[in-house]
Amino acid sequence: MANIVIVGAQWGDEAKGKIVDFLAQDAAMVVRYGGGNNAGHTVTVGSEEYKFHLIPAGILNPNILCVISDGVVVDPGVLVKELSGLKSRGVDFKNLKISASAHVILPYHCLQDDFQESRRGDSAIGTTGRGIGPAYSDKATRIGIRMGEFVDPARFEARLNTVLAEKNALFTKVYGAEPLDAGKILAEYSRYAAELKPYVQDIAGLVFEAAKTPSGVIFEGAQGTLLDLDLGTYPYVTSSHPIAGGACIGTGVGPTMIDAVIGVAKSYTTRVGKGVFPTELDNETGSYIREKGHEYGTTTGRPRRCGWLDIVVLRYSARVNGLSCLSLGHLDVLSGLDSVQIGVGYSTKSGETLDQLPSDLPFRTDIEPIYETLPGWSEDLSAIRSFENLPLNACNYVKRVEELAGIPIGTLSVGPAREQTILFNDVLERTIRKRLS
Ligand code: IMP
């Protein structure tokens, strides 16, 4: 094993949790490097299904350290609830660490998120409403409260009073709302702080040491490349850095310590919230994929927009993340379609063909996807464990995706369970393990 970043190669919800859980079995540590409880991972082990919002998916393995790092924004109420839910199912947290530098989401962030979204009207982003944007904004404006301060009662009270005075001025004067009560927030959040305090520490040295061991670190990304604040489809993005580079920013590990980057993609594309989506299927096929793939948000329950696989997006992801290989999932969902399509480029109204993602994509009204159509397959793939046993048309689809994207496929998923994974060991050896030699 090596130090591997697991990154969403599309607009999030690519089922990164499954591959993290799978690789975590051999790792020393799993670090969640960005985002907050806008994310949701579902991991299936045997007949048990676990849903995670903040806790790294590696927590199911009691032998590895699991870290919520500096780059994450933590809603303490959500984390406490997540911990108690998992504890009641026998999950052990002795190996959980929360960075003292991670920023805290407080009630005023969620309120601000709601006010900002309602004010945007038709140009609302479609955020998860979890206070993510305002929490990262406060970090950038340097008024954020970090976990280290949060679990220190005197410092938390002092900081809360200062910041709340500013937020209440905003709520009352700009939004015409009632001010929030510092005493109420303090009473509720001090309880969370006391519960979380044992897990909070400086984590930079810890991650660095684990990254030097032969077992290495899995850097668990949240959201996806196209939701990155700088490199995504701005402004319809989240406020953090889901890209592979975010693993360095969010954990304090230098780029030269990363050995490999695995991009996780679905065999089709989904997106939640507003924003450009060239290969979207606003029709029966889109609904078929949504229902068959259970494409409803883990966090918000919102129906996800569904569409064909977009190779332009994958090529872009391969470039900006420096992908070593691809982990292609949800192939089983495409079973039952007479034909399947792959978006291989965009054509513009002026007759141009684009095979790379244009930076002004969110505002382009003049582009249409160019599709390649392949024959579909009807067989249920969920019990198939080797590439050779897949129906010929499914094999051809996967090979064509690999060829068009220009990145080798390392794993293929035919269902949510750990064992529903087909490994391409030659690719994994070449792109992950060989880097140790
Ligand atoms: P925010 O992260 O709540 O501010 O939302 C900003 C945009 O990112 C919205 O379009 C959300 O739907 C999207 N988003 C945030 N987290 C996720 C995720 O985990 N999966 C998919 N979309 C997400």
In DSSP terms, 7 is beta-bridged to 263
* Displacement of CA 421 from its chain's centroid (Å): 20
> Would you place residue 280 in the very low, low, confident or very high pLDDT band (cuts 50, 70, 90)?
very high
Tens-digit pLDDT profile for residues 131-145: 999 999 999 999 999
Q: Which two tokens stand for residue 216?
A: 């290495």
Report d(CA 258, CA 5) in Å as an integer. Answer: 7
Q: Cα(386)–Cα(252) distance, rounded to whole angstroms?
A: 39
Helical ranges in 170-225 per DSSP H: 182-196, 204-211
Question: pLDDT tens across 3-59, in order?
Answer: 999 999 999 999 998 899 888 888 999 999 999 999 988 777 788 888 889 999 888
Superfamily name with CATH number, domain 4-83+203-436:
Adenylosuccinate Synthetase, subunit A, domain 3 (3.90.170.10)
In this structure, the residues whose C-beta lies within 6 A of any atom of ligand 1 are: 12-13, 38-39, 125-128, 130, 132-133, 222-223, 227, 236, 238-239, 272-273
pLDDT at 437: 41
**pLDDT value of position 292:** 97
Question: What would the mean pLDDT of 162-186 be, rounded to a whole number?
Answer: 97
- Return the pLDDT at 1: 60
Residue 435 has pLDDT above 60, yes or no: no
* Locus of tokens 């060239």: 278
**Distance between CA atoms of residues 22 and 417, nearest Å:** 10
CATH topology of domain 103-199: Adenylosuccinate Synthetase, subunit A; domain 2 (1.10.300)
**Centroid of ligand 1 to alpha carbon of 152 (angstroms):** 31
Mutate to test the pocket of ligand 1, among 6, 225, 227, 306 (most ligand atoms within 8 A of CB): 227
Q: Do strands 217-220 and 29-32 pair parallel, antiparallel, or not at all (unpaired)? A: parallel
Instruction: Check 41, 53, 103, 109 and give the catalytic one.
Output: 41
Residue 376's Cα: distance from chain center in Å?
Answer: 29
Contact 240, 246 (CB under 8 A): yes
CB-based contact 36:73 (threshold 8 Å): yes
Which whole number is the average pLDDT over 242-267?
97
Cβ(138)–Cβ(150) below 8 Å: no
How far apart are the C-alpha atoms of 71 and 394, rounded to whole Å? 38
Q: Mutation test of ligand 1: which of 223, 225, 277, 298 has the most ligand atoms closer than 8 Å to its C-beta?
A: 223
Rounded alpha-carbon distances, angstroms, from residue 417 to 84, 320, 334, 394 = 24, 29, 17, 20
Predicted TM-score (pTM) above 0.85: yes
Is 13 among the catalytic positions?
A: yes
CA dihedral 404, 256, 34, 269 (to 10 degrees): 0
Which pLDDT score, from 0 to 100, does residue 433 have?
65
On whether the CB atoms of residues 68 and 80 are closer than 8 A, the answer is no
Closest ligand 1 atom, CA of 38? 16
Which residues are paired to 8 by β-bridges? 264
Residue 197 CA to ligand 1 center (angstroms) comes to: 28
Atom of ligand 1 nearest to the CA of 272: 12
Active site residue 380: no
The 10s digit of each residue's pLDDT in 66-79 is 999 999 999 999 99
Q: How far is the CA of 223 from the centre of ligand 1 (A)?
A: 7
Domain ranges of the chain: 4-83+203-436, 103-199
| Residues 72 and 34 sit within 8 Å (Cβ to Cβ) | yes
Overall average pLDDT of the 405-426 stretch: 94
